[in-house]
Copies of this chain bind each other. A is one copy, B any other.
Amino acid sequence: METQWLDERERAAWLRLVAVVELLPGLLDAQLRAQAGLTHFEYFVLAMLSEAPEHTLRMTSLAQRTNATLPRLSHVVRRLEDRGLVERLPCPEDRRATNARLTDEGWDAVVAAAPGHVTTVRRYILDPLTPEQLEQLRGIGEALLTRLDPDRLMTALYDPEKTGNNGGSAARMSGASRRTRRAVS
């Protein structure tokens, strides 16, 4: 099996993507740490809960949406629990399972962190792109995710048309979680 090496066009695109992938997490992390005292992953976890019905999600489901292993999530949720941002409740339907629920303090933390985060996203990602490039990026992301996340575990409820067909979570979306704009990503 002979390796097919990259030509100049492929190399140019790939090197730039790698650079973005390496640089972006550090920036998001630094901003959230400084302004909200959260890592990007912690913020992501809280944001996912904030969009879930009852602000509650099973650990496994939360792990899929955040692309975390279960051990990692377990540790992070324990630390968030120690800080009073999340609570863990045994799941009544399945006594093996645990539900993670956002506390009021946790909700406040997400709401407080969101504006700074969105501003950062705008400055580093959205502003430098033309409207056409924005649309292209959506298409490229979509194409890549068919390989990177074929079962759509992480990117379940994206399409605004098909709400309500992912375990009914969007349909049962609570009033509280709609009261403010989304805590993006």
Q: What is A's interface to B at a CB cutoff of 8 Å?
A: 3-6, 8-27, 66-67, 114-115, 118-119, 121-131, 133-149, 154-155, 158, 160, 181-182, 184-185
Contact assessment for B119 and A148 in the assembled complex, using a CB-CB cutoff below 8 Å: no
How many protomers of this protein does the assembly include?
2
Partner of A128, one of B6, B115, B131, B146: B146
Contact assessment for B148 and A27 in the assembled complex, using a CB-CB cutoff below 8 Å: yes
Nearest B residue (CB) for A122: B4
Contact assessment for B21 and A158 in the assembled complex, using a CB-CB cutoff below 8 Å: no
Q: Which one of A10, A121, A133, A158 has the highest number of Cβ atoms from chain B below 10 Å of its Cβ? A: A10
Contact assessment for A20 and B143 in the assembled complex, using a CB-CB cutoff below 8 Å: no
Nearest B residue (CB) for A158: B15
Contact assessment for A141 and B23 in the assembled complex, using a CB-CB cutoff below 8 Å: no
Contact assessment for A20 and B22 in the assembled complex, using a CB-CB cutoff below 8 Å: no
- A155–B21 Cα gap in the complex (Å)? 13
Contact assessment for B23 and A125 in the assembled complex, using a CB-CB cutoff below 8 Å: no
Closest CB-CB distance, A16 to chain B, in whole Å?
3
- A170–B104 Cα gap in the complex (Å)? 57
Nearest B residue (CB) for A3: B115
Partner of A126, one of B14, B67, B119, B184: B14
Contact assessment for B19 and A149 in the assembled complex, using a CB-CB cutoff below 8 Å: yes
Which residues on the B side are within 8 Å of A18 (C-beta)?
Answer: 185
Contact assessment for A16 and B145 in the assembled complex, using a CB-CB cutoff below 8 Å: yes
Closest CB-CB distance, A180 to chain B, in whole Å?
10
Contact assessment for A140 and B140 in the assembled complex, using a CB-CB cutoff below 8 Å: yes
Nearest B residue (CB) for A148: B23
Closest CB-CB distance, A8 to chain B, in whole Å?
6
- A4–B181 Cα gap in the complex (Å)? 11
